[in-house]
Amino acid sequence: MADSTARQQRADERRRRILDEARARADADGWSAVTTRHLADAIGYTQPVLYGHFPGGKTEIMRTVALEGFAELTQLFHDAIGRKTGRRAVEAVAVAYLEFAAAHPSLYEAMFQLPIDATFASEDSETELRAGFDAIAAVLQDERGATTETFWGALHGISLLERAGRMRPEHRAARIAEITARFATQPSNPTIQQ
């Protein structure tokens, strides 16, 4: 029993090293620089060992990294929202989203721009995708999801345009205020402090 537990722990550690190295390489040089050969060399194992952990190769690694990114983003939403409601909560989500996208461009790219074979905007979406969507929908009080998709789409567009230098950085607060005003469904609760 202890031997199988130790073996599983070593396998989990190798898997984590592969994912961490993929993310670090993507951060440094972009996803095109992430190859199974590089990852195997970087962690000191052969490519067959890497494929033993990720049979789908680079695509499966990117997908796993992306799903972890969605879990991180969802946690940021929850942390940012805290006890806020109404406008404050909508603004907190917008700020958290744009700051996440700016701080983690390669992770964001894996999440939203690379083919990762994940199901979006569906009842059978992966848990990590669904949780982020549901966090936004709760803030927007959106039962059908169309408003959430539109809000998310607007934030995505803003994040890409900001990264490309197509939007003036000094206007970010105004953009957040504008998107908050358009999507907030109720006034902030004055008894809740930020």
Give tens-digit pLDDT for 48-77: 989 999 999 999 999 999 999 999 999 999
Q: What is the pLDDT of residues 79-134, one digit of tens each?
A: 999 999 999 999 999 999 999 999 999 999 999 999 888 877 677 888 998 999 99
pLDDT digit string (tens) for 168-191? 999 999 999 999 999 997 444 433
Question: What phi-psi label fits residue 191: left (phi over 0), alpha (psi between -120 and 50 degrees) or beta?
Answer: alpha
H or E element in which residue 48 lies = helix 47-53
Between residues 3 and 108, the one the model is more confident about: 108
The pLDDT mean for the chain works out to 90
Query: Structure tokens of 8?
Result: 């599983």
Residue 185 pLDDT: 74
Measured distance CA(160)–CA(54) in Å, rounded: 30
* Separation of alpha carbons 82 and 144, rounded Å: 24
Q: Which CATH superfamily is domain 58-186 in?
A: Tetracycline Repressor, domain 2 (1.10.357.10)
Smallest CA-to-CA distance from 175 within 194, 192, 151 is with: 151
Kindly report the CATH class assigned to 1-55: mainly alpha
Asked if 63 and 118 count as a contact pair (C-beta separation under 8 A), the reply is: yes
Q: Report d(CA 23, CA 65) in Å as an integer.
A: 7
pTM, rounded to two decimals? 0.87
Structural domain boundaries in the chain: 1-55, 58-186
